[in-house]
Chains A and B, each alone.
Chain A
């Protein structure tokens, strides 16, 4: 079945550092891929998405590129801020099933 694997957290960075959170997936067909963010005490919010190979999703300085050859969708940001501290979830939705499948989440802590 479909699955998403994310790097274990927490990831701890200083402000303005470069961020990468790895995500790989297993799916039938050609899924849509998503990154969600969950701020403390809140629900998940869509951060960015990509619907086909080589697409790049971007939002709020975050980017991720749909890599079909490596089945990956790594999240990157060039310069993190304290306000980016949150839990980040990689997810997919494949054509055979519209159920979103989520990774375990990666906690990001950014220090001033």
Chain B
């Protein structure tokens, strides 16, 4: 397996634009997590899915953020409209129950 695959690796966008981040988890994993990493806050859990169903989105900063998992092999995190304070590295991770989480390489988002 190629591991967790995220795209794009880097995204630069203007304030107010819609941004969509993509993630392909490891095949067979039943949990998928979206994290945001910043210098100020460290690694924050935004939302996680179990068997494609969103379980806890309490970490999503506000209504501008949304996440979907239409099938077991794909998830998106959307920000609309984007703001400069959304600039961060966004990680997707997947796991099989209580085993370790496997992380993608992240998407570095810059909103100017």
Residues of A at the B interface (CB closer than 8 Å) are: 32, 34, 36, 42-46, 49, 89, 91, 93, 95, 98-100, 102, 104-105
Contacts and interface: CB of A to CB of B under 8 A. Distances in A.
A46 B100 contact: yes
B26 to A, nearest CB: 13
A100 B93 contact: yes
Closest 10 CB pairs of A and B: A43-B103, A104-B42, A44-B103, A43-B105, A100-B101, A46-B100, A102-B43, A93-B98, A43-B106, A98-B98
B104 A43 contact: yes
Contacts of A98: 31, 50, 95, 97-98
A105 B97 CA distance: 23
Interface size class of B (residues with CB under 8 A): 20 to 34
B88 interface: no
B56 to A, nearest CB: 7
Interface of B: 4, 31, 33, 42-43, 45, 48, 50, 56, 91, 93, 95, 97-106
Contacts of A104: 42-43
A105 B103 contact: no
Looking at chain B's contact residues, the main secondary structure is strand
A52 to B, nearest CB: 12
A93 B102 CA distance: 13
15 contacts: A32-B98, A43-B4, A43-B105, A44-B43, A44-B91, A44-B101, A45-B103, A46-B102, A89-B43, A91-B101, A99-B33, A99-B56, A100-B93, A100-B101, A102-B42
Nearest to A44: B103
A105 B98 CA distance: 21
Max chain B Cβ within 10 angstroms of own Cβ: one of A93, A100, A105? A100
Contacts of A102: 42-43
A88 B56 CA distance: 26
Contacts of B93: 44, 100
Most buried by A among B56, B100, B106: B100
